[in-house]
């Protein structure tokens, strides 16, 4: 009986129902899209940082991340290569040798990171080759060819074709020096990276640095990078104990934390909005219920208990809330899904936020069913909570008081 009464009430006062419906549908859509946009932009920033150079996970000798000098190198890189080759969860991988050396053009000398990479394998592991802006990317047979960050080239005052000298230290700490010709320039958009990195074919750099079969670390992509923590733990289990597998969450710790702080501020600002929505719904329901005071008094006089009245009004809002949440979620989720596939483009943001690792003008949303579900549930509970106070208030009136209520 309560259901039919509630349903009748909803249908009878269409205007009231539609406003309630719209209010919560709108907040659901807004909440879902807001969170999807926030998560999406964070995801984008992390993804670009990870994919530009870092990679989803690294294998290094324990201690390397604290002291990245020559004391903590992978001395037998073939052994790690063999393990990775036979690991089906690993999609692609490559060793890298990184060192710090002095590069010198005709006029200026600049300290820079020199990376020994296997050019062909890096193509599926980093954005180095696709970030080419001038000249050519490296190939596996290159010898005295160097691939320079565009900002570094500016600092050195060199261009494609220029000759530069490199002076560093071989792994036996003797002086390693060689001349290189600039083969190409790259620009990833990460300013610090572009102004401090240069790359050389590892096979050749190894002859200069005496680092044959030696790597600073291995970078890799898993088959399923979304289950990164499990994948990393599984990989760790297959490694000899002196090595460690670390994923981007640790490698880019500072960035991950910055994103977390940003999310917290995002949630704080959206919760202020929700506080407003909550009170709007509550005041609206309050006014609504009081305009129905006579009707409620009549029902009480006819013999319905205050529990029955509570039940009836609660079912009303339950039906409305359920309906609006369903509609809102469908619309919100569709928006998130659409903009995940077709990201919003705001031209110029990459330029403005490049130091934060924003390398693209595209801001995708993130379509994640778990997030959408808890977003929808939050609005649902908020809706139900908003009605409790008005109902309890009207139920305090006796039947006579309610009927006389103007």
Partner 1 sequence: MKYFLSLFFITLTLHAGEAQAIIKKLEKNLRGDYMYATMKMIVTSKRGQRTVEIESWSEGNEKSFIKILYPKKDQGITFLKIDTQMWQYIPKIERTIKIPPSMMLQSWMGSDFTNDDMVKESSLEEDYNAKLLSKQGNDATLELIPKPNAAVVWGKIIIDVDLRNAVPRKETYYDDMMQKVRIMTFSKIEQHGTHRVPMVMELKPLDPTKKRNRTKIIFEKINYDTKIDASYFTKQALKRYSR
| Positions that interact with partner 1 (CB under 8 A) | 63, 66-67, 70-71, 100, 102, 104, 108-111, 165, 167, 169, 171-175, 177-179
3-state secondary structure the chain: CHHHHHHHHHHHCHHHHHHHHHHHHHHHHHHHHHHHHHHHHHHHHHHHHHHHHHCCEEEEECCCCCCCCHHHCECCHHHHHHHHHCCCCEEEEEEEEEEEEEEECCCCEEEEEEEEECHHHHCCCCCCCCCEEEECCCCCCCCCEEEEEHHHHHHHCCCCCCEEEEEEECCCCCEEEEEEEEEEEECCCCHHHHHHEEEEEHHHHHHHHCCCCCECEEEEEECCHHHHHHHHHHHHHCCCCCEEEEEHHHHCHHHHHHHHHHHHHHHHHHHHHHHHHHHHHHHHHHHHHHHCHHHHHHHHHCCCCHHHHHHHHHHHHHHHHHHHHHHHHHHHHHHHHHHHHCCEECCCHHHHCHHHCCCCCEECCCCCHHHHHHHHHHHHHHHHHHHHHHHHHHHCCCHHHHHHCC
Q: How far is the CB of 214 from partner 1 (least distance, A)?
A: 11
For partner 1, the closer CB: 172 or 224: 172
For partner 1, the closer CB: 73 or 359: 73
For partner 1, the closer CB: 65 or 121: 65
Q: How far is the CB of 219 from partner 1 (least distance, A)?
A: 23
Q: How far is the CB of 153 from partner 1 (least distance, A)?
A: 16
Q: How far is the CB of 176 from partner 1 (least distance, A)?
A: 9
For partner 1, the closer CB: 108 or 230: 108
Q: Report phi then psi at 248, rounded to 5.
A: -60, -25
For partner 1, the closer CB: 43 or 65: 65
CA distance 302 to 402: 13
Q: How far is the CB of 174 from partner 1 (least distance, A)?
A: 5
Q: How far is the CB of 280 from partner 1 (least distance, A)?
A: 56
Could you tell me the CA-to-CA distances from 125 to 74, 129, 296, 315 in Å, in that order? 20, 10, 68, 55
Q: How far is the CB of 175 from partner 1 (least distance, A)?
A: 5
Q: How far is the CB of 99 from partner 1 (least distance, A)?
A: 11
Q: How far is the CB of 89 from partner 1 (least distance, A)?
A: 32
Question: Residue 198's beta-bridge partner residues?
Answer: 114, 148
For partner 1, the closer CB: 107 or 226: 107
For partner 1, the closer CB: 169 or 238: 169
Q: How far is the CB of 65 from partner 1 (least distance, A)?
A: 11
Q: How far is the CB of 179 from partner 1 (least distance, A)?
A: 5
For partner 1, the closer CB: 143 or 227: 143
CA distance 46 to 56: 10
For partner 1, the closer CB: 70 or 274: 70
Neighbours of 103 (CB within 10 A): 25
Would the CA dihedral through 150, 153, 159, 160 be positive or negative?
negative
For partner 1, the closer CB: 68 or 120: 68
CA distance 380 to 362: 32
For partner 1, the closer CB: 110 or 330: 110
């Amino acid at each position: 009986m309560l259901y039919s009464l509630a349903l009748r009430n909803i249908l009878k006062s269409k205007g009231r129902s539609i406003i309630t419906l719209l209010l919560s549908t709108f907040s659901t859509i807004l909440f879902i899209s807001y969170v999807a946009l926030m998560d999406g932009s964070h995801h984008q920033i992390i993804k670009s940082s990870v994919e530009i150079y870092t990679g989803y996970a690294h294998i290094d000798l324990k201690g390397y991340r604290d002291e990245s000098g020559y004391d903590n190198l992978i001395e037998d890189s073939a052994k790690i290569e063999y393990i990775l080759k036979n690991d089906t969860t690993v999609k692609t991988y490559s060793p890298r040798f990184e060192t710090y050396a002095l590069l010198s053009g005709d006029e200026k000398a600049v300290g820079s990171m020199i990376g020994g990479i296997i050019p062909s394998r890096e193509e599926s592991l980093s954005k180095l080759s696709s970030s080419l802006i001038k000249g050519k990317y490296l190939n596996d047979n290159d010898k005295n060819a160097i691939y320079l960050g565009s900002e570094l080239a500016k600092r050195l005052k060199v261009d494609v074709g220029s000759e530069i000298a490199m002076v560093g230290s071989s792994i036996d700490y003797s002086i390693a020096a060689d001349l290189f010709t600039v083969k190409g320039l790259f620009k990833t958009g990460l300013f610090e990276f572009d102004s401090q990195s240069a790359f050389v074919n590892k096979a050749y750099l190894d002859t200069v640095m005496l680092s044959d079969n030696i790597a600073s670390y291995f970078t890799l992509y898993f088959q399923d990078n979304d289950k990164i923590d499990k994948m990393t733990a599984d990989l760790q289990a297959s490694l000899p104990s002196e090595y460690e597998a670390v994923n981007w969450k640790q490698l880019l710790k500072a960035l991950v934390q910055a994103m977390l702080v940003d999310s917290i501020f995002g949630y704080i600002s959206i919760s202020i909005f929700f506080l407003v929505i909550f009170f709007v719904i509550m005041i609206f329901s309050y006014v609504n219920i009081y305009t129905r005071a006579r009707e409620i008094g009549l029902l009480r006089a006819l013999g319905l208990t205050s529990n029955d009245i509570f039940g009836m009004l609660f079912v009303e809002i339950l039906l409305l809330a359920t309906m609006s949440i369903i509609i809102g979620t469908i619309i919100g989720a569709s928006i998130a899904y659409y903009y995940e596939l077709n990201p919003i483009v705001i031209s110029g943001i990459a330029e403005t936020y490049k130091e934060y690792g924003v390398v693209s003008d595209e801001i995708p949303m993130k379509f994640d069913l778990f997030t959408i579900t808890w977003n929808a549930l939050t609005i649902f509970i908020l809706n139900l909570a908003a009605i409790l106070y008005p109902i309890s208030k009207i139920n305090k009136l006796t039947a006579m008081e309610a009927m006389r209520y103007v």
